[in-house]
Amino acid sequence: MNPRMSNEHFQVAIIGSGIIGSVLALGLIRRKVSVQVYEQAQSLREIGAGIAFTANARKCLTLLDARLDDCVTAVGTVNGDPACPNNNMQFIDGYTHDALKHVSPGDDLVEKTLYKLHAGPRGFEGCHRAHFLDQVMKLIPDGVVHLSKRLDSYELPEEDSGENKIRLVFCDGTTAEADVVIGCDGIKSRVRELVYGKDNPISYPHYTHKIAYRGLVPMDQAIARLGESRARNQQMYGGPNAHVLHFPVAGQQLMNVVAFVTDPNDWPLDRNMTQPATKDDVAGAFAEWGPTVRIIIDLLSPAMDKWAVFDAFDHPAPSYAAGSVCIAGDAAHASAPHHGAGAGIGVEDALALSVLLDRVRSEIEARSAEKATAIPAALKAFSTVRHERSQWLVRSSREVCETYEWNNPSCGSDMSKGYEDVKQRSHKIWYFDIDGMLADLDEEYQKCLME
């Protein structure tokens, strides 16, 4: 193979234009890495509801492309009084009460400790996933994102064939070529399935036996029933085998409510993860809870959605890289939402990949490295550096749910012990050493080049 020909037209293909695929694309574009994004949907959309980026995740967004932080600001909703935002995550016992004593909503919480965990400036500023993605897509140049491109397969170049591109085959019969393929195609990732095989349990997410009931409540109705302070501030209510979270969204016009309950049944993967539900379905799970939580559930619409929580805990991917193909974000390490950090960890992935592929691009252009060695080395370095932290999140997201729901044997129903457990885990997410990660990537890349 002609070395000069092998280094021409360095091209990255991203499969999936959700949040991680899109911010990665912007990070690469900013670094002058040629990239194309292939999205299976006919229109751009993001599944899910609320999302919050910690201060640490926002720093990663800024390092990808400084305009991304503005995207968060444009659609974010401050927590609490807009004139004096509340940057705390808040936890309280929503279950314990005197069932024989009639009290008004809120009164059952008066003598209980409200545990507050400071998340940093603007550290708990929620937004809707779709609204954030809309802002991001405005920054991506025309011709980069291709819709209705569902990946069917990819074909690696044969040795000694003179070819050095990966051939992508889409379900509509069209094809494309790239030097690097990155699967950012979510929890049901086709790229992950192609890497690990159709009959391999690693290729698929698995049910956590938790269901999230989700609803949006008009803020005026929430204030009328709960009081202004409670309605406008994020709060988590813990109790046995379930927990409830609410926080303001849509410029504080709505209160987003998520109620998690345990489900002993199975949920087949081929069944849509989001299904219609009713308020009666969830009310029974909280019938014995305190009046405040019961009122929150009563505020929900008679018809709502329920979301089956899947993750990658049971069969984790041992590596995120396979030669010149890799997976990132939920495709690599889908976690349950109990830390609210899946997107933030995916943003860290995107920063790591953008920095590594920028280095590959510059070395290829300078003729100081060859694609055949530099690309696999970069992706292997990405996997090595990112694997431990991202897999920890998958595990900890399940474990912290047990703490919220009083099933952690070291905490039980002791909210003070539970708070310390949540604090330790949250700080590991929020105070991640980004510069240290970048240094580790550089060191690991050099090591992989020499292997």
pLDDT reading at 72 higher than 80: yes
The last residue of one of the domains, among 311, 336, 362, is 311
List, in order, residues 6 or more apart from 367 with CB less than 8 Å away. 7
Instruction: Take residue 404 and report the two structure tokens written for it.
Output: 């919220």
Which whole number is the average pLDDT over 142-151? 97
The predicted pLDDT at position 395 comes to: 98
Q: For a pLDDT cut of 90, what percent of the chain falls above it?
A: 78
pLDDT-derived band at 309 (thresholds 50, 70, 90) equals very high
- d(C-alpha 91, C-alpha 113), whole Å: 8
- Catalytic site residue from 214, 232, 359, 386: 214
At residue 83 the predicted structure's pLDDT band, cuts being 50, 70 and 90, is confident
Query: Which residues lie below 8 Å from residue 244, measured CB to CB, with a gap of 6+?
Result: 94, 236, 237, 257, 258, 259, 260, 286, 293, 296, 297
Selected residue with higher pLDDT from 422 and 83: 422
Q: What is the CATH number of the domain that holds 278?
A: 3.30.9.30
Q: What is the mean pLDDT of residues 96-121?
A: 87
Q: Are residues 229 and 171 in the same domain?
A: no
Give the whole-number percent of the chain exceeding pLDDT 70: 96
pLDDT of residue 7: 46
The domain that holds 390 is classified in CATH as 3.50.50.60
Residue with tokens 């890495």: 33
For 365-397, what is each residue's pLDDT tens digit?
Answer: 988 889 999 999 999 999 999 999 999 999 999
Same domain, 215 and 232: yes
Beta-strand relationship, 80-81 and 84-85 = antiparallel
Q: Say what the pLDDT of residue 85 is.
A: 86
Examine the domain organization and report whether 290 and 337 are in the same domain: no
Residues 266 and 400 in one domain: no
How many domains is the chain partitioned into structurally? 2
- Please indicate whether residue 294 is annotated as part of the active site: no
Tokens for 337, please give them.
């939402």
Can you tell me the mean pLDDT for 212-239? 94
Residue 84 has pLDDT above 90, yes or no: no
Q: Does pLDDT of 1 surpass 50?
A: no
Give residue 8's pLDDT. Answer: 59
The boundaries of the domain holding residue 341 are 11-75+126-205+314-406+424-450
Look at residue 185 in the predicted model and tell me its pLDDT.
97
Indicate whether 416 belongs to any domain: no
- Are 404 and 238 in contact by the 8 Å Cβ rule? The answer is yes
Is residue 432 included in any domain, yes or no? Answer: yes
Contacts 24+ apart (CB under 8 A), 224-228: 225/105, 225/295, 225/298, 225/299, 226/105, 226/106, 226/292, 226/295, 226/296, 226/299, 227/105, 227/106
Per-residue pLDDT at 378: 98
- pLDDT of res. 160: 60
| Count of Cβ atoms closer than 10 Å to residue 53 Cβ | 28
Whether residue 418 is contained in a domain is answered as no
233 and 370 in a single domain? The answer is no
At 368 the pLDDT is 86
Confidence check: pLDDT of 5 > 70? no
pLDDT tens string 36-60: 999 999 876 655 567 778 888 999 9
Q: Residue 120: its pLDDT value, please?
A: 78
Q: What is the pLDDT of residue 162?
A: 54
Whole-angstrom Cα distance, residue 142 to residue 137? 10
Shared-domain flag, residues 51 and 194: yes
Model confidence pLDDT, tens digit, residues 229-277: 999 999 999 999 999 999 998 888 999 999 999 999 999 999 999 999 9
Residues 319 and 387: beta-carbon distance below 8 Å: yes
Mean per-residue pLDDT for 165-179?
Answer: 96
Residue 359 — very low, low, confident or very high, per pLDDT cuts 50/70/90? Answer: very high
What does the alpha-carbon distance between residue 206 and residue 201 come to, in Å, rounded to a whole number?
Answer: 9
Residue 414 lies in a domain: no
SS3 for 388?
Answer: helix
Of residues 93 and 305, more confidence is placed in 93
pLDDT greater than 60 at residue 79: yes
Given 267, 285, 311, the domain boundary residue is 311
Please check whether residue 321 lies inside any domain of the structure.
yes
- CB distance 165 to 372 below 8 Å: no
Cα torsion 192, 193, 196, 201: sign: positive
pLDDT at residue 3, rounded to an integer: 41
Q: What is the pLDDT of residue 303?
A: 86
C-alpha pair distances (Å), 359 with each of 169, 353, 370, 375: 28, 10, 12, 10
Is 113 in the same domain as 139? Answer: no
DSSP character at residue 76 = -
In a domain, 263, yes or no: yes
State both tokens at 217.
Answer: 């409540």
E strands of 173-253, at which residues?
A: 175-178, 180-183, 206-218, 235-239, 242-249
Band (pLDDT 50/70/90 cuts) for residue 164 is confident
Residues 433 and 357 in one domain: yes
Alpha-carbon distance of 353 to 26, in angstroms, equals 12
Same domain flag for 307 and 328: no
Residue 183 domain flag = yes
> Are the C-beta atoms of 325 and 178 separated by less than 8 Å?
no
Q: Is the pLDDT of residue 196 over 70?
A: yes
The rounded mean pLDDT for the chain is 92
Residue ending a domain, choose from 276, 311, 346: 311
Q: Are residues 369 and 323 in the same domain?
A: yes
* Same-domain pairing of 349 and 429: yes
Among residues 23, 16, 54, 70, the alpha carbon closest in space to that of 38 is found at 16
| Domain identity same for 158 and 268 | no
The predicted structure's pLDDT at residue 326: 98
Q: At 160, give phi and psi (nearest 5°).
A: 65, 20
Query: Per the domain annotation, does 104 fall within a domain?
Result: yes
Residue 139 has what pLDDT? 97
